[in-house]
Amino acid sequence: MKYFNYVKDGAPRLGFFSDGRWLEAETPSGAAVCTDDLITGAVSADSVRPGSELPPGFKFAPAVAAPDKILCAGLNYRDHAEETGGTVPERPVIFAKLSSCIAACGEDIPKPPAVRCLDYEAELVVVVGKNAYNVTEEEAGSCIFGYACGNDLSARDAQFLSNQWFLGKSLPGFSPLGPLLVTKDEIDVSSLAISCRLNGVTVQDSNTSNMIFSPEQLLAFTSKYVALRPGDLIYTGTPAGVILGKPKGTRVWMKAGDTVTVEIEGLGKLTNRFV
């Protein structure tokens, strides 16, 4: 299925995307639910069905409204590792972002006053669907609920203030996610076109087949050290084309007014604007 969250009465609500239409979800009891309820098993997928078409102008909520953890893989495309001067990793490079920086498709992202080097990173995002601790790569697939588009927004001048990338990754709104959450049975993510456009100009253009470590490998590796829970997110890395990868003196960082769109084949388009 292709699910999404939208905003109703100030809270996230579940919807279905089908045949190009954005539809409300209906439950037998009329209870308000969102994707998080499906992921955690609080609500059975069989108990919800598509309802009426949403009116134009509705607002998206993040495809997962309240993840417990946001984990990210760095340097997971060979060309990105090379363009930024890094070495191709022998094992996944994992870092974390605060779950409070989750943002929705269409949501404006405030330009942080303390930083100026703002960068985009188009990424496939894994949505964890069950508790996973010390699972094998073979078991990892069964722990995945689905996938979404993500943008690992980065403030590069803050990212490299220390050898921990945390400060440059967890600013407000720096984890846009959505609009769709597509279940794993609906899509094969091993070879999908992935791109990023800045103000309409294509700046990243690659394929998920170029990832060094697959979603299953990333989940299994991470689960050796972190107890994953339903709704946790794993951003799987970005391909070449980021601003940081350009020669010094030619880098034009994002600024207020810029619009960035991440598109992944079968997962839709994720658009945000800096303000």
Residues 108 and 53 in one domain: no
> What is the helix (H) or strand (E) element at residue 13, kind and residue range?
strand 11-18
Same domain, 46 and 130: no
pLDDT in tens, 189-201: 999 999 999 999 9
Under a CB-based contact definition with an 8 Å cutoff, are residues 236 and 123 in contact?
yes
Q: If pLDDT is split at 50, 70 and 90, which confidence band does 128 have?
A: very high
Predicted local confidence at residue 195, as pLDDT: 98
Task: List b or e across 139-166, with b for residues whose CB sees 16 or more CB atoms inside 10 angstroms.
Answer: ebeebbbbbbbbbbbbbbbbbeeeeebe
pLDDT class of 115 with cuts at 50, 70, 90:
very high
Burial of 83 (0-12, 13-18, 19+ CB in 10 A): middle
**Count of other CB atoms within 10 angstroms of residue 256:** 12
Range of the domain at 41: 2-61
Number of compact structural domains in the chain: 2
- What pLDDT was estimated at residue 138? 98
> Which pLDDT does position 158 carry in this prediction?
85
Are 199 and 258 part of one and the same domain?
Answer: yes
Report the distance separating Cα 47 and Cα 37, nearest Å: 11
pTM of the predicted model as reported, rounded to 2 decimal places:
0.97
**pLDDT value of residue 166:** 87
Domain boundary among 35, 61, 87: 61
Q: What is the pLDDT of residues 164-210, one digit of tens each?
A: 888 999 999 999 999 999 999 999 999 999 999 999 999 999 999 99
Is the pLDDT at 28 greater than 90? The verdict is: no
Helix (H) or strand (E) holding 235: strand 233-235
Tell me what the pLDDT averaged over the chain comes to: 96
Q: What is the dihedral of CA 163, 247, 191, 259, to 10 degrees?
A: 90
Q: Are residues 6 and 97 in the same domain?
A: no
Query: Is 196 in the same domain as 121?
Result: yes
Task: Write the pLDDT tens digit of every residue in 146-167.
Answer: 999 999 999 999 898 888 888 9
Domain holding 88: CATH number?
3.90.850.10
What CA–CA distance (Å, rounded) separates 25 from 129?
20
The amino acid sitting at 74 is: G
Please give the structure tokens belonging to residue 113.
Answer: 């006053």
